[in-house]
Structure 1
Amino acid sequence: MSTCSATATLTSVAVGSAERKQQWEIIKKSFCLDGSVALLEEGEEDGQDIGAVIQLVEQLAMGQLVLDLALHAIWRGLRHKVVPGFWRHFVEYVAGSITTQEEDEGEGSVEVMTRVATAVSELYHSAVTYLPLIHRCQMLIELTGAKYEACVPGGLVEHFKLHLRATLHSQMPHNFTKLLNKFYSAAFNVFYHGEVENPTEDLDDTGDEAALQCAGCNAPKEECHCQAITNTFLQVNRQLMELELMERLAGDTISSLLLSIINQHVTTTCRDSYDQSRIAALEKWVETVVVGWLEVVYCGGRGQLSTADSAIQTMVSNNLNQTYMTALYHTYTTTRINQLFNIVIEFPESQPALEDIRDCLDRTHLRDRLVESLRAAIQTRLLHPGVNTTDVLHAYISAIKALRVLDPKGVLLELVSEPVRQYLRGRDDTVRYIVTSLTDESSSELSEELLVAAPLILDDSQAEEENMDNWESWTPDPVHAQSCKVKSKSQRTADIISMLVNIYGSKDVFITEYRTILADRILSQFSYDTDREIRYLEHLKVRFGETLALLHKCEVMVKDVADSKRINTSIHSDENPHRERQRFPVSAMILSAEFWPSFKEERLQVPEEVSRELDIYTEAFKDLKGNRTLNWKPHLGQVQIEVELKSRILNLVVTPTQATIIYHFQEQSTWTIENLSMVTQVPKTVLRRKISYWQTQGVLQEVSPDVFVLVDGETNDGEAIDPVAGPSVDDTSVACEEEEEAESVMASAQDQREEELQVFWSYIVGMLTNLDSLPLERIHTMLKMFVQGSVECSPQELRGFLDRKVRQHQLLLTNGLYKLPKN
């Protein structure tokens, strides 16, 4: 637009004739070239016909000049008068709100609405004032052929609106949104409490003071401003829509406000509540409240438009519904992701929340965020030494079940659970707890899983889906499954027991632990009832495979119990006159040494009287079994004894070591730890622990360090001991049994494994004798070739075994080669 040239031409016109000056005054006044746009009203022509004025302009060939000067006056008026006047209201409000510390909420809402309405109304009326001049310029263009720089289609009116938007944006203050945000917040509050919430519920739930306060405008009910706020709100929106300024000025403010409201509502609704599905109610809330209010903003409300504009209303409603529903799903999923660790722990009560998350994940792109957040929460809250292994395993089992609800394909579970598996693999008591839970009726979480008749799916098993015979039902993995290490879908969707076994990748580890637990259970209870153990053993055979050699050993162990019962019955019923009669009954649990795990190496020298009775039982066994004999483990078993004191008689069931200790106190009343250890062959530390039982019974007393005396119903002062004051016989018996149950009689898993690995030692010695020195990989390969049996060994385990031999000076390690030391 060439404003400077137009001004130069105007100067040349001014020096013309008087008639020409009069004509120019008419043109200047008709097109407000002097800047007096505010005096011009639609239809007011100052006695002049605008058509005649345009013909005059055409005769003078001044169409382009007049158009340029008129548009220049309009743009100048927008820049220097209209737009600054509009923004002045916002700047003044911000300055006033900074100096004002407190204000009444009701009056504040009205003030905000009035200020915004005044600013928009002034802007609207200023723009309307320019429309007659815009129409005249449009007629001038059509009749004279003058041209302007068209930036948008639609004629000069659209060009004027574009200029207005651009000028507003160029002079926009940085903090103008504060007033607009309060304006739309107040309008939304009135809409929400006036049309959505039930007023009667507010009266019932709030106090008298709150009942007198209007929830919409926060003013006293007799001074309610809700209707005024609504009317002002509708007026401002209508004017902004007509000027096409709604999105430019208020679009971001409205979006930010509604997103904040959605976030606040979702957070309040879903706070620590996982047992109910919330997404359907939230969807209805967004449709009713958020989209309903937006229809009021953009369309004047439902039913407010004419029939001709109903299609526009439907289109706006659908677009807004889709936009803010997407925002709802994103906000809900984000909120639940932050709570996901608690949701997983509380499964299955939290299944409704998990189903909601699953539906929302399909509509958002938050899977990676979910994985990262849950892994971080597990690492921070679960995988540290302060958490018991039992709690870690419970959380892992809950995670398996919960994440299967989120993703039945098992991809999310694989991505999240890998740190848990690595952590559990490093804890020594993981296997024992898993096996105990599998075979413990009180632990229904895993014992019920054992009842499912399905074989294990291990990580090294073949993936059946690679067979593409049934290709019509094949579905590809999700995109985010590419980072999973497990390739088989069947392994990702395996049952809980398979997932737990895959922590170690070997069934032998679990069956070995089960053998130890089974042995402890049999030898601690000394019961011949094996129905329960047989039942669990059958379930394990289904799960782990009947051909597993270790399970066969377990079968033999259970069979030994039944055989022991039969042998004891036979020996006790035998009336052989040549056999020496026993002074007290002896029953034995006869074990097949080759099939039972290793026992702890403990010694106990029983009294000669007891030893003689054991020999009598051995002779009876030889008579029954021919050339087979017995090797007694005297420290194992239970002894029923009667301890007779002056003031009381105790009938107890104790261990052989405890019975041997009290037996020796009937020979002499005072013993030192050292002397008693020499007689019983029990180490002093073990002996002191066993004596503590008799101290709790009030039978023995430590009169000086390591010196114990029999308390035969009286103290050293001659005062009688009240047997009621001490623990009851039943309670102490139970305590003793619990103590002995907690203390395993079997060797530790590490010791048992060390004994198994000794099978390799003779082969390793032979290799190194013939080949001088070998690396670890070569030794492992040769063992796999020549040692075939039930004992398997990984390279890492073999390295640990050989390193222990190096520390024991039975091997040398030089430059990665193992060799025998020279004699």
Structure 2
Amino acid sequence: MADALNQSWTVITDVLSPKKQPLFDTARESTDIQRRVELDEALAVLDRCGILHLVPAWFQQALQDDIRRRVVHDFWKFFDNSHLSGSESEAKVALTRQFTLSVDYLHKVSRTYQVCVKVIKDVQHSLSLKSLADGDGFGSRGHGSVAGRARDRLGDRLVLLLKSFLFSTFPKNFRKAVEVFYSQAFILFRREEVEPPPPGQSNEEIMERFSKVNLQLHDMGLLEHVAGAAITSAVTDHIYNYIHKTCRGDFETPYLQHFEMYLDSKVLEWLRLIYRHSDEKAQCIDSFRGRLMHFICENYADVLIDQLFSIIIEYPDSEPALKDLRQCLEKIDLRSTLVTSLRSAIEGRLLHPGVNTTDILTAYISAIRALRALDPAGVILELVCEPVRKYLRSRDDTVRCIVSSLTDNENSELFDELLKGAPQPVDDRADSDDESESWETWQPDPVDANPDTASKRRKEQDIISTLVNVYGSQELFVSEYCTLLADRLLSPSSSNIATAAAPTGAGGELERELRYLELLKLRFGEAPLHSCQVMLKDVADSRRINSRIMEIKQQNGETSEMDLSSIILSAQFWPTFREEKITLPTALQSCLDAYTQQYEMLKGNRTLVWKPHLGSMNIELELKDQTLNFSVSPVQAALIMQFQEQKQWTVEDLGQALEMAPSAVRRKLAFWQGQGLLKEEQTDVFVLVEERRSGPQEVIAAADDDERESAMASAAQQREQEMQMFWTYITGMLQNLDNLSLDRIHSMLRMFAVQGPDSGEFTQQQLKVFLDRKVREQKLIFAGGVYKLPKN
């Protein structure tokens, strides 16, 4: 009996050994049938001896030892580094071949195991049946019920052993081989990139091998474990590259829907091809679609955010890109990334001295429009453009550029906004939301919104209101418009009316200014712009007075070498003028006096105070060989007229004759010297040149750059004059209170000195600059954080 038992055990261990070939092989069918008969007889012997249950335990241990000692070694030999020499394409071919051969080898080993596993399952099944026949029910603890459960887990244990011993870690070459294999297959499936197949392979062979490998891995239960990461990597890498290749630099085409169609038609179909043998995985693909769509939105948004500055500059042509970005931001949280990136781009490319204020304003206006389209709540605009507002406040010409854009160019975006009228008044105090807003349409502000800014105000401000709020109030804009209007009305280039308080333009220009004024009234109200209304009325009244005086002179038969027209200004309604001291020659002054007398005759108790340095004169110079015509300022005319009395003048003598500073005289003489009419024979000695050997017979020369400057005082000059008005108050306070801090002086001036709209407004920093200058002039002492007057 012992011999029969030993012989049976030998047959069992020999036939069921995992190292052997499958029991059923068509090439040797008769031998396999004979071996199966021998196996069944041997199993029957063990069953009669009551030790059949030892066979499954022996098999599991033998299976484990075989995988650990033989299969692991043979499998990883396929990924020997010696095969990876040559070019990159050759290396890819080698890696693909290694992976294909290794999977084929493992599949053959698995088939061998599966045949043996089937026999062991039959043994376990018979043990279960015998246990039931002996009354050992399903709920018993006998070895029959244990064998039943082990039979059910044996197939899973085979997969677990392969994962544990073979794929506990992935060597670098193996991981690379899997990635190359699935990446090439995905490229071929997409058929969007024309790529030649690797050397020695055809596209059909690659796809056939791809299907075979997937089926083999699925049969072994290893598809997801071996290839899951590579499949995901191939998909995400190709989606990333496809997004960057497709949409970068193109802002006029909406791509989000296109990417969604690409996901469904290419990516998901490829995944279904891989997992078509697995019903469970095929169902998971639909849930995986949401993750991939999130990945698409995230990467597409990153591309758009990286180019957002250019998208803003090209708005509204770039509106499709902004709509896509808005949809992406609704699905993924990239608002903080967007704000940080765009602020950095704006500060680096826009906010530096090399960019004109006009260009900064143009970009800012585009940003307002574009970011409103991106985020109607206005929160992104508020966060991103805060550096722009701060930088614009630091530039002296910001307000003038804004006002110029509003009123100078009828094709500008700001003028179009002005034509729309004011949807709401610009009210800085309106910092609460409208409680009447419907609760059904109410939307909460984003979490990154500034709680100090009212939601309704942030949403409804138009472009002009936003620009006005750069400075926090509309008074500065109105004041700048008054100065700009005065400058245009008094600009010599806009008229042919000479001298005095300056010329006016043609009737069409005046009508245009009236139109601008009416539009501004609709937005800012009539009261702040009352001075502008008076200024335009002064221009119209001046025309009538000029015409009336001309008629009187003609009626009286009066003739004059000089025809004079003027603009008569209501001084208290006009901005401060640029001052320049000069005493005109007798001929010019007598002409002004005659005009004054005629004006007094018309107006009774009114008289004129002339601004002789403003305006323009058309003069004719008769030389020995030619006659020249010039359009110059009265100062330029006065200088050249002095050379009628004598041919040579020194700078000092001219300054005394005209009561001008020598430096100003020399600066003005440079114009006539440049025209070839004056020659500097010695230092500061100029001689009239009456014969010009070259040049045209008639020259019309515009005023030089110095003469084309604004007739109005600069903002700094006006501020200095306003601050100087407060000096009397400051000295009085210090005499009474001995010493005061900057904050105390500022608050007291605002309380007692700043009264009424024309009293001027100033910041504490501006006051500090003024007081520090007085300290340098030794008119004040600053010590211990307080100011006081010096002791005599």
- Answer whether TM exceeds 0.5 for this pair: yes
Aligned to 1:749: 715
Of residues 437, 445, 455 in structure 1, which corresponds to 2:405?
Answer: 437
**Are residues 254 and 771 of structure 1, via their aligned partners in 2, closer, same or farther at CA, if it must alter by over 3 Å?**
same
Give 1:168's aligned amino acid. Answer: L
Of residues 531, 534, 539 in structure 1, which corresponds to 2:519?
Answer: 539
Distance (whole Å) between structure 2 residues aligned to residue 711 and residue 140 of structure 1: 130
Aligned to 1:136: 119
Aligned to 2:83: 96
Of residues 464, 471, 494 in structure 2, which corresponds to 1:504?
Answer: 471
Could you tell me whether the CA contact under 8 Å between 2:92 and 2:177 is conserved in 1? Answer: no
Aligned to 2:535: 557
Distance (whole Å) between structure 2 residues aligned to residue 365 and residue 382 of structure 1: 27
**Are residues 47 and 543 of structure 1, via their aligned partners in 2, closer, same or farther at CA, if it must alter by over 3 Å?**
closer
Aligned to 2:28: none
- 1:451-466 to structure 2, matched below 5 A, reads 451-454=419-422, 460-465=428-433
Please tell me whether residue 238 in structure 1 is matched to residue 215 in structure 2: yes
With normalisation by structure 2, the TM-score equals 0.88
* Count of residues in correspondence between the two structures: 755
Aligned to 2:130: none
**Are residues 270 and 746 of structure 1, via their aligned partners in 2, closer, same or farther at CA, if it must alter by over 3 Å?**
same
Q: Which one is further off, 560-569 or 137-146?
A: 137-146
Please tell me whether residue 124 in structure 1 is matched to residue 107 in structure 2: yes
Please tell me whether residue 816 in structure 1 is matched to residue 785 in structure 2: yes
Please tell me whether residue 285 in structure 1 is matched to residue 257 in structure 2: no
Distance (whole Å) between structure 2 residues aligned to residue 596 and residue 149 of structure 1: 108
Distance (whole Å) between structure 2 residues aligned to residue 273 and residue 173 of structure 1: 42
Aligned to 1:723: 696
Aligned to 1:78: 67
- 1:381-396 to structure 2, matched below 5 A, reads 381-396=349-364
**What SS is found at the alignment partner of 2:317?**
coil
Q: Report deviation, 1:143.
A: 4.0
Q: Unpaired segments of 5 or more residues in structure 2?
A: 26-31, 128-142, 495-502
Aligned to 1:694: 672
Aligned to 2:310: 342
Distance (whole Å) between structure 2 residues aligned to residue 805 and residue 334 of structure 1: 55
**Are residues 552 and 722 of structure 1, via their aligned partners in 2, closer, same or farther at CA, if it must alter by over 3 Å?**
closer
**Are residues 698 and 484 of structure 1, via their aligned partners in 2, closer, same or farther at CA, if it must alter by over 3 Å?**
farther
Could you tell me whether the CA contact under 8 Å between 1:605 and 1:681 is conserved in 2? Answer: yes
Give 1:588's aligned amino acid. Answer: S
Aligned to 1:172: 170
Q: Report deviation, 1:652.
A: 2.2
Give 1:46's aligned amino acid. Answer: R
Aligned to 2:275: 298
Please tell me whether residue 327 in structure 1 is matched to residue 316 in structure 2: no
Distance (whole Å) between structure 1 residues aligned to residue 726 and residue 161 of structure 2: 91
Aligned to 2:135: none
Q: Report deviation, 1:557.
A: 1.6
- 1:529-678 to structure 2, matched below 5 A, reads 529=507, 530-548=510-528, 551-574=529-552, 582-678=560-656
Q: Report deviation, 1:673.
A: 2.5
Distance (whole Å) between structure 1 residues aligned to residue 262 and residue 684 of structure 2: 78
Q: Which one is further off, 138-147 or 655-664?
A: 138-147
Give 2:6's aligned amino acid. Answer: K
Please tell me whether residue 17 in structure 1 is matched to residue 7 in structure 2: no
Distance (whole Å) between structure 2 residues aligned to residue 151 and residue 510 of structure 1: 88
C-alpha distance after superposition, 1:574-606 (max 9, x if no partner): 259999764422111111121222222211221
**Are residues 469 and 351 of structure 1, via their aligned partners in 2, closer, same or farther at CA, if it must alter by over 3 Å?**
closer
Of residues 56, 62, 66 in structure 2, which corresponds to 1:67?
Answer: 56
Q: Report deviation, 1:751.
A: 2.0
Please tell me whether residue 217 in structure 1 is matched to residue 197 in structure 2: yes
Give 2:475's aligned amino acid. Answer: D
Aligned to 2:137: none
**Are residues 242 and 783 of structure 1, via their aligned partners in 2, closer, same or farther at CA, if it must alter by over 3 Å?**
same
Aligned to 1:376: 344
Aligned to 1:486: 453
Q: Which one is further off, 743-752 or 813-822?
A: 813-822
Aligned to 1:206: none
Q: Report deviation, 1:626.
A: 1.6
C-alpha distance after superposition, 1:609-640 (max 9, x if no partner): 11111111111111122222111111111101
Please tell me whether residue 257 in structure 1 is matched to residue 242 in structure 2: no
Could you tell me whether the CA contact under 8 Å between 1:31 and 1:70 is conserved in 2? Answer: yes
C-alpha distance after superposition, 1:171-217 (max 9, x if no partner): 53133222222222322232233xx57xxxx7xxxxxxxxxxxx441
Distance (whole Å) between structure 2 residues aligned to residue 701 and residue 424 of structure 1: 46
Give 1:22's aligned amino acid. Answer: Q
**What SS is found at the alignment partner of 1:170?**
coil
**What SS is found at the alignment partner of 1:332?**
helix
Distance (whole Å) between structure 2 residues aligned to residue 668 and residue 61 of structure 1: 147
C-alpha distance after superposition, 1:542-588 (max 9, x if no partner): 2223232xx22222222211121122122222259999764422111
**What SS is found at the alignment partner of 2:583?**
coil
Q: Report deviation, 1:152.
A: 11
Distance (whole Å) between structure 2 residues aligned to residue 723 and residue 576 of structure 1: 36
C-alpha distance after superposition, 1:655-713 (max 9, x if no partner): 11111122122222333333223222333343333333323433233344433332223
Distance (whole Å) between structure 2 residues aligned to residue 285 and residue 478 of structure 1: 32
Distance (whole Å) between structure 2 residues aligned to residue 509 and residue 745 of structure 1: 19
Distance (whole Å) between structure 1 residues aligned to residue 152 and residue 442 of structure 2: 55
Q: Which one is further off, 593-602 or 604-613?
A: 593-602
Q: Unpaired segments of 5 or more residues in structure 1?
A: 1-15, 203-214, 715-719
- 1:752-763 to structure 2, matched below 5 A, reads 752-763=718-729
Give 1:678's aligned amino acid. Answer: Q
**Are residues 391 and 250 of structure 1, via their aligned partners in 2, closer, same or farther at CA, if it must alter by over 3 Å?**
same
C-alpha distance after superposition, 1:49-78 (max 9, x if no partner): 766655544554435543222111111111
Give 1:237's aligned amino acid. Answer: N
Aligned to 2:21: 38
**Are residues 117 and 101 of structure 1, via their aligned partners in 2, closer, same or farther at CA, if it must alter by over 3 Å?**
closer
Give 1:95's aligned amino acid. Answer: S
Aligned to 1:416: 384
**What SS is found at the alignment partner of 2:381?**
helix
Please tell me whether residue 187 in structure 1 is matched to residue 176 in structure 2: no
Could you tell me whether the CA contact under 8 Å between 2:260 and 2:293 is conserved in 1? Answer: yes
Q: Which one is further off, 37-46 or 64-73?
A: 37-46
C-alpha distance after superposition, 1:731-764 (max 9, x if no partner): x33xx377644x1122111221232344544444
Give 1:668's aligned amino acid. Answer: Q
Aligned to 1:495: 462
**What SS is found at the alignment partner of 1:708?**
strand
Q: Report deviation, 1:409.
A: 0.9
**Identity, % of aligned positions:** 42
Task: Compute the RMSD of aligned alpha carbons.
Answer: 3.1
**What SS is found at the alignment partner of 1:479?**
coil
Give 1:503's aligned amino acid. Answer: V
Distance (whole Å) between structure 2 residues aligned to residue 437 and residue 765 of structure 1: 42
**What SS is found at the alignment partner of 1:46?**
helix
Give 1:546's aligned amino acid. Answer: E
Aligned to 2:481: 514
Please tell me whether residue 356 in structure 1 is matched to residue 343 in structure 2: no
